[in-house]
A and B are shown apart, each in its own frame.
Chain A
Amino acid sequence: MSNYLEIANSPWMWVMAIPVVVLTGFQGVLFAKKAIHASKTGAVNLSGEQCRKAFKVGAISAIGPAVSVFIVMIALIAVIGAPMAWLRLSIIGAAPTELTAATMGAKAMGVEFGSPQYNVDTFASSVWTMSLNGIGWLLFCGLFTHKLGGLQDKVAGGDKKLMGLISTAAVLGTSGYLLSGHVLAGGPRLIAGIAAALAMALLEKASTNIPKLKEYNLGIAMIVGMAAAVIIL
């Protein structure tokens, strides 16, 4: 039983992974339907065409990030098998998180993840740890999300303009933080960040005349950033 990957890639493991993946897709479709319904009933001021556009833009803009998920997923498939990698990367918990959880599961049994001693029993321990880790977010958000609102409303006090400003500031605070690590790292990561930022600024200017461009802004800016990093490297 030492080759755990045979079991990890067995047809039944695929079957066990399907429900979670399907549920994720189901939620995506369900929420989109509710959003379209809200616009149809006039609860929000959006046309059907605007709704379709929003969905399409989201789907297109995800292609770039999804391809990079694809790459790390290959590494994950090699160690935990394709079905588990498929399940884990369809829901919360990125590849490094899952690898850490798999390692901790092995460690709990006193075995090194990836060593010859790593067998189907230690794999089971890794699977338990990955599953238990993932439910942390599901449980917290499932129970408390509806209680999280209100802070922005309280600060803004019904002032719609301030509300918009605070939302924008939240995006700048988050993206500023996410970017800061790459800026401090310097080298090609810094170059990618700067090039993509400049490209986005130019595309924004250009898209005032060509509105259609807005849908592809992020994708184009990303490619410019990545290309700049590779070329200048």
Chain B
Amino acid sequence: MDNTSSSVKIKENTTSSDTVFYNAFSKKITKYGRITLLGAIPLCFLPALYLWFAHGSIPAVGTILTGWFLIASIYGAEYVMTPISYFPILGVSGTYIAFLSGNIANMRVPCAIVAQEAVGTEAGSNEAEVVATLGMCGSIITNLIVTTVAAIGGVWLYNLFPPIVMEALNYVLPSIFGALFALFAIRFPKFGAFGLGIAMFLTGVVKVIPTILLVPICVFSTMAFAAMDYKKKKQA
């Protein structure tokens, strides 16, 4: 393995290798990320416009605004808080991917992390970001195939699932999250205990904090705990 020589090379010119990375990857990703996300907005309205022009079905402007107000009062804060909460995991390119194609916690994050594990990248490195991007891109293709199959022949296929499989699929989320948590908690048990502990305390004991604040509090306090722990050890 030539790992040692390459990592030495990176350390020698950290700033210039980061600039190279920015120009070769981040800059382009930002450009195309903005184009795809903002470009998706008008396309999302095609079905609504079709119903209007072809069938004359358009709610009054006041009705549209009422519906918008009702839904934004539920999810409005999430438009801002979810991207901020997941940014430390997703990074720039991951955020552009995850917030176009959705399925963030249940699919994009696990796929990014498993890809990093399989390739063996160092956490927080530029390599880790590129590998996470590739893992998420792979997961998009799988998701598109499955949703397309579901849209076309889903109802028919649905009846082929044995009841036991349907039952088991109810537990897909705790299984993903348990596995993901364990993957890192066995390496950093102290941070794991803190992360799970604070979440259990806030949701199970304090209970009054709205979900929208819970995620960032849990994420950023665990990050701060790790940073303080590291700095304390470095001083000692």
Contact = CB atoms under 8 A, between A and B. Distances in A.
B176 A222 contact: yes
A74 B154 contact: yes
A196 to B, nearest CB: 4
A129 B117 contact: no
A100 B169 CA distance: 22
A57 B171 contact: no
Q: Contact size class for B?
A: 35 or more
Contacts of A170: 88-89, 219, 222-223
Contact of A24 (B38, B130, B144, B169): B144
B71 A104 contact: yes
Query: For the side of the interface on A, what is the size category?
Result: 35 or more
B10 interface: yes
B151 A83 contact: yes
A19 B158 CA distance: 26
A109 interface: yes
Contacts of B45: 131
Contact of A175 (B6, B67, B171, B184): B184
Contacts of A62: 107, 111, 138-139, 142-143
A69 B220 CA distance: 29
Interface string B217-228: 011111101110
Contact of A215 (B68, B109, B118): B118
Contacts of B152: 82
Nearest to A46: B127
Contact of A164 (B105, B122, B143): B122
B43 A23 contact: yes
Interface in A23-47: 23-32, 34-39, 41, 43-46
A30 B223 CA distance: 32
Given A7-B51, A19-B46, A70-B154, A168 B10 contact: no
Given A44-B127, A124-B57, A180 B91 contact: no
B112 A34 contact: no
B212 interface: no
A160 B124 contact: yes
A120 B51 contact: yes
Given A30-B32, A92-B102, A73 B151 contact: yes
Contacts of A56: 138
A91 B108 CA distance: 12
A85 B130 CA distance: 31
Contact of B47 (A35, A84, A141, A218): A84
Contact of B101 (A27, A105, A133, A175): A27
A218 B110 contact: yes
Contact of B140 (A25, A74, A104, A215): A25
A138 B17 CA distance: 31
Interface in A59-112: 59-71, 73-74, 77-78, 82-87, 89-94, 97, 100-101, 104-105, 107-109
Interface in B75-94: 75-76, 78-80, 82-89, 91-93
Contacts of B48: 124, 127-128, 131
A92 B175 CA distance: 22
Contacts of B115: 53-55, 57-58, 61
Nearest to B99: A141
Interface string A1-33: 100000100001100110111011111111110
Contacts of B148: 21, 86
B21 to A, nearest CB: 5
Contacts of A199: 179
Given A27-B101, A179-B196, A59 B219 contact: no
Given A142-B37, A229-B171, A13 B32 contact: no
Given A175-B177, A192-B178, A28 B38 contact: no
Given A32-B138, A58-B134, A204-B182, 18 more contacts: A20-B40, A28-B141, A34-B133, A35-B134, A35-B137, A55-B138, A65-B103, A68-B169, A70-B157, A101-B71, A138-B40, A144-B83, A145-B37, A164-B122, A170-B222, A171-B89, A173-B220, A200-B182
